[in-house]
Amino acid sequence: PRPAQSTTDLGAPKALTAAQLAATAGQATAGQDPLEPLQWDLPAIKADKAHEKSLGSSKVTVAVIDTGVDDTHPDIAPNFDRGASANCVSGKPDTTDGSWRPSASESPHGTHVAGEIAGAKNGVGITGVAPGVKVSGIKVGNPDGFFYTEAVVCGFVFAAEHGVDVTNNSYYTDPWYFNCTDDPDQKALVKAVARASQYAEKKGAVNVAAAGNENYDFASDEITDPSSPNDTTPGDRVVDPSKCFDIPTQLPGVVTTAATGAKGLKSSFSNYGQGIIDIAAPGGDSTAYQTPAPPATSGLILGPLPGGKWGYMAGTSMASPHVAGVAALIKSPHPHASAAAVKALLYAQADATPCTDPYDIDGDGKVDAVCEGGKNRNGFYGHGIADALDAVTK
């Protein structure tokens, strides 16, 4: 069977063509990397202003627990931390050189995510949210695209034991989109990943995760999940969100991240829920729904692809690394800060964003989602939109 999209992005990216790359030439201003004018997401969280103050510390490492990272990419190579990288697909870490890279047939997802976090400010390509910090790759997605529990547990434990400061988790743990704790097998999966993520947090890591892309209200009474189990024959099942969890994003202590588009509104696809969403950040949206201001041309997020290329992707997968990058900027001047302290600053510094009401993102006259809560904490934006400038100035 074809696996469901375990990574929380919206499909395969297309690499920018030579003509598209040439069209951007000359648009960059002093201090910008060549493709930065296309990155509307950086000013959306004030990262462009933050970079005038700090790029982050090279003593901080963000682990990309994902499909693998191409550390030979010119935007990633300068900041890559090999010592904190491994292949955990088997459930045991393989630290053989290059084991963390995706094969040619595997998803470019992890490479894109790594660049969004720490793409170097080096006169090439794009700029990451925290272009002075280190990034590592911990590969947990197998060649068929599945993120199984033993691999995810290995990823968190490896990160914890190698001094990682932040982990980014832009996936859900297969084969269940929601793991229901009234089922003994699914409850065991929740416990296993929860123990591993909490171990990483106790060792100092801030765990950031993507909320998912189904426009689900996690705070509702019931949700119909049509995609589980995705490695055999999925079927519709109605789940109770108070007992059934998307892991790791809904685990205790994990920073649950929703996505916004170029107009600063909840992305059309982003999951939401009062009391569940902690923070929001740019993840992109259909350009027809949220069109960026020029010179940006796409409402999606630009990042590196394996093989020295660049392309657009969208999803809460892209929102989470923006938050991970801001967390790394917070950690940079406070190397001994606990994960709890970094999260407290992350939430306190977020730009409070009131509910979008009514939310009719496609303009067809029908409400597409209902936001609950006040300006300082609500179901669409949590504590608000992540703020990179505050991270380096407060």
pLDDT value at residue 102: 97
- Which sign, positive or negative, has the C-alpha torsion 84, 90, 91, 94? negative
pLDDT value at residue 309: 97
> Could you read off the pLDDT tens digit of each residue along the chain, which spans 394 residues?
334 457 777 777 889 998 888 888 789 998 899 999 999 999 999 999 999 999 999 999 999 999 999 999 999 999 999 999 999 999 999 999 999 999 999 999 999 999 999 999 999 999 999 999 999 999 999 999 999 999 999 999 999 999 999 999 999 999 999 999 999 999 999 999 999 999 999 999 999 999 999 999 999 999 999 999 999 999 999 999 999 999 999 999 999 999 999 999 999 999 999 999 999 999 999 999 999 999 999 999 999 999 999 999 999 999 999 999 999 999 999 999 999 999 999 999 999 999 999 999 999 999 999 999 999 999 999 999 999 999 999 8
Beta-bridge partners for 259: 281
- Tell me how far apart the alpha carbons of residues 177 and 150 are, in angstroms, rounded to a whole number: 16
- Which of the four CATH numbers 3.40.50.200, 1.20.1260.10, 3.40.1190.20, 3.40.50.150 does domain 18-393 have? 3.40.50.200
- Tell me how far apart the alpha carbons of residues 200 and 175 are, in angstroms, rounded to a whole number: 23
- Tell me how far apart the alpha carbons of residues 372 and 380 are, in angstroms, rounded to a whole number: 8
Q: Are 66 and 141 spatial neighbours (Cβ–Cβ below 8 Å)?
A: yes
Pairs from 292-300 (Cβ < 8 Å, separation ≥ 24): 292/40, 292/262, 293/40, 293/262, 295/24, 295/27, 295/37, 295/38, 296/37, 296/38, 296/39, 296/40, 296/262, 297/38, 298/38, 299/40, 299/261, 299/262
pLDDT value at residue 14: 85
pLDDT value at residue 387: 98
pLDDT value at residue 291: 97
Residue with tokens 């995810």: 152
Tell how strand 301-305 and strand 309-313 pair up.
antiparallel
- Tell me how far apart the alpha carbons of residues 208 and 256 are, in angstroms, rounded to a whole number: 7
Residue 293 class from Cβ within 10 Å (0-12 exposed, 13-18 middle, 19+ buried)?
exposed
- CB atoms under 10 Å from CB of 269, counted, come to 24
pLDDT value at residue 3: 41
Q: Where are the domains of the chain?
A: 18-393
Report the Cα 162 to chain-centroid distance in Å: 21
